[in-house]
Amino acid sequence: MLVHFTKMHGLGNDFMVVDQISQKVRLRSEHVRRLSDRNLGVGFDQLLIVDPPSDPEFDFCYRIFNADGTEEKNSGNGARCFAVFVHEKKLTCKKTLKVETAGGPLLVTLNDNGQVTVDMGKPNLDPPSLPFNVETQAISYPLKLAEQQLDIGAVSIGNPHVITRVDDVINTAVDRLGAEIENHPCFPNRVNAGFLQVLSRTQGRLRVYERGIGEILASGTGASAAMVYGRLQGWFDSRVEIQLPGGRLQIEWSGEGHSVKLTGPVQRVFEGQIFL
């Protein structure tokens, strides 16, 4: 099977994008694991699949697979790359797309300045739906780890994130803590872990340990979840710039009942083809 693909990234969060509309390929989990290898394959954080929608109300169906072959429900950086990809490939001429995902519908807009805005939907704070095994819903929860206890927020933006505020995110042990949080028994389906340093009411710094991947350079859903948690705690205003190792994202959230809107850049890296 010959697969044509495009390599793209959003702030260093990198993706292999495959169009399954104009080429007859069907990738399975074992293919994803082989392709994600940065020495023996293409190398990426996630694989993005472009499919026709199952519902004519949508323009496309967009599927996301982590490097370990597990399917993910949402990716803010991936959604921006997806929108640029289908536009560059002339699969659509629309600037605003309604996209079907496993995490629910997404609205994505290509702006005239080259940035892309994703309406990420309303944040979900209901513990059972993440799922998060606690008795009652709250803004902050204690989480007992092997050597310490953390105060965390739990927010789903199509996929689940734990957010922890830290004083110095650069010197935080993200690999160790992230792996422990990801596999904590309170999260039966595992969870993404974000470590947030609040710089001001309009700026934050974030590192994200993503389930099935490890630490990544940027996460759109992670930045959105961090903004929501920070705003609920009274640390942030309604517009915040989140600085990640790969660059900066602009996040807007007016509060309960409103959608989160994420804006950032996209870069196409190269085109390629590979035999599987």
Annotated binding site for substrate: 13, 46, 66, 76-77, 159, 192, 210-211, 220-221
Nearest Cα neighbor of 205 from 215, 213, 197, 195 is 197
Say how far apart CA 242 and CA 13 lie, in whole Å: 15
Three-class SS state of 96? strand
Helix, strand, coil share (%) of the chain residues, nearest 5: 20, 40, 40
β-strand pairing of 96-100 with 60-66: parallel
Residues in the chain: 276
Three-class SS state of 3? strand
Question: How many Å is the Cα radius of gyration of the chain?
Answer: 18
Q: Which amino acid is at 187?
A: F
Nearest Cα neighbor of 212 from 72, 111, 74 is 72
Say how far apart CA 148 and CA 135 lie, in whole Å: 21
